[in-house]
Amino acid sequence: MITASQVVKRYPGGFEAIRGASFEIAEGEIALIGGHSGAGKTTLLKLLGAMERPTSGSLIVCGQNVAALRSGVLPFLRRNLGFVFQDQKLLFDRSALDNILLPLEIIGLSPKEAQRRARAALDKVGLLSREKAYPIALSGGEQQRLAIARAVVNRPSILLADEPTANLDEESARQVLDLFLAFNQAKVTVVIATHAPQIISGRSLKRLTLSHGALLP
């Protein structure tokens, strides 16, 4: 599902955020990307989400080499990926339901089918009763769950999450993680970047630990 080989990300000015990372994540696996602050977790996640391009090396995601991806193909790769951003990136001028409808509008689903799927996604994250609420009226945990619903509504094959439990209380964090585990059971590959890799324990996980841009063995 994901194969990285000697991936390097160097920013203008020469700073190397990722230094020669090589790893594989199989279909249906859960992978935790850990490491200290500034280790390169978010950069690696952005590379996996094709929001950044590797400077060198090869990164294959869903059969596409992100390093050599044509701009015309990029949107279609992203439709296969669900992304939960650290800052959620919810649209505050749209209701919860309308936020979830956006990815479905993008793929051109009929309004009826889109509404049905969006409500099902909201139901899955426990927010169906808040479908008309605007994000500003939702708690931090609810906003995070809404962001997850938007990420999975398109039934992606890979779910990428950047610090999904940061700023959440213990109960909300538990609910969010349970959702990831539930999606993983439905064969969705889940990749979570977190500075607290102990958030999920007692399961067979792939753990990738970064230190100053390099993967620790």
Partner 1 sequence: MYTWFQQHLRAFSRALKRLLASPLNTLLSMLVIGIAITLPAAGYAIIDNVQALGKGHSGAQQISIFMELDASSAAVAEVRRRLKTRTPGQWRFVPRDEAFERLKNTEGMAEIISSLPRNPLPDAFILEPEDKSPDALEALRAETSSWPGIAHTQLDSAWIKRFDAFLQLGRQAVHLLALVFAVGLIAVTFNTIRLQVFAQAEEIEVARLIGATDAFIRRPFYYFGLLQGVLGGVAAVFLLFFGLTAIRPAVTQLTALYGSGFVLHPPGIADCLALIAAGGALGWVGAQLSVSLALRQQKATQR
Q: Which of 94, 119 has the CB closer to partner 1? A: 94
Query: Which among 71, 89, 69, 35 has a CA at the least distance from the CA of 211?
Result: 35
* Contacts to partner 1 by CB under 8 A: 49, 51, 75-79, 83, 85, 89, 91, 102-103, 105-111, 150, 154
β-partners of residue 31 are 191, 206
Residue 106 CB, nearest approach to partner 1 (Å): 5
Residue 44, helix vs strand vs coil: helix
Contact 162, 133 (CB under 8 A): no
Q: Which of 53, 206 has the CB closer to partner 1? A: 53
Q: Which of 27, 105 has the CB closer to partner 1? A: 105
Residue 108 CB, nearest approach to partner 1 (Å): 3
Residue 68 CB, nearest approach to partner 1 (Å): 17
Query: Which among 30, 128, 156, 186 has a CA at the least distance from the CA of 145?
Result: 128
Which residue reads 């439905």 in tokens? 186
Residue 75 CB, nearest approach to partner 1 (Å): 5
Distance between CA 217 and CA 209 in Å, rounded?
8
Q: Which of 35, 49 has the CB closer to partner 1? A: 49
User: Is the sign of the CA dihedral 153, 155, 156, 160 positive or negative?
Assistant: positive
